[in-house]
């Protein structure tokens, strides 16, 4: 299980990256931004908070959306209880998805 301090650092970092930094002079697809942010939140809440209000299908759909959108498919165990096998895999996936967003938010189009 990932510690609460790690959870807060990830959330603060995510908030900082996605809301403080904005592209000047570019158009960001608001639907993609919303889906991306809510999918990241779902994954983080499932993995770190063991949030019982999140349905398994929502978690799986978030993993699929993030993988399909970014091409960075998650390193998870899809058996019985789906989850990242290690803290390192979880942190790597979140970092890769956030990096992709920062690099592509201004050029993304449907």
Specify the residue for token string 């960001």: 28
Q: Print the domain residue range for 58.
A: 4-21+28-104
User: Does a structural domain hold residue 82?
Assistant: yes
User: Does a structural domain hold residue 72?
Assistant: yes
**Average pLDDT score over residue span 64-71:** 97
Q: Which pLDDT value is given to residue 20?
A: 43
Convert the pLDDT of each residue in 31-63 to its tens digit.
999 999 999 999 999 999 888 889 989 999 999
Instruction: Give the least confident one: 5-9, 83-87, 99-103.
Output: 5-9
User: Does a structural domain hold residue 110?
Assistant: no
CA–CA gap between residue 71 and residue 100 (Å, rounded): 9
State how many domains the chain has: 1
User: Does a structural domain hold residue 76?
Assistant: yes
């Amino acid at each position: 299980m990932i510690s609460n301090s790690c959870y807060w650092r990830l959330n603060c970092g995510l908030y900082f990256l996605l809301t403080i930094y904005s592209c000047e002079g570019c158009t960001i697809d608001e639907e993609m931004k919303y889906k991306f942010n809510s999918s990241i939140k779902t994954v983080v809440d499932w993995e770190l908070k063991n949030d019982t209000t999140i349905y398994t299908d929502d978690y799986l759909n978030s993993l699929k959306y993030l993988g399909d959108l970014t091409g960075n498919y998650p390193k998870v165990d899809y058996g019985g209880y789906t989850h990242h096998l290690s803290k390192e895999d979880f942190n790597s996936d979140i970092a890769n998805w956030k990096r992709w967003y920062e690099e592509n938010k201004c050029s993304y189009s449907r």
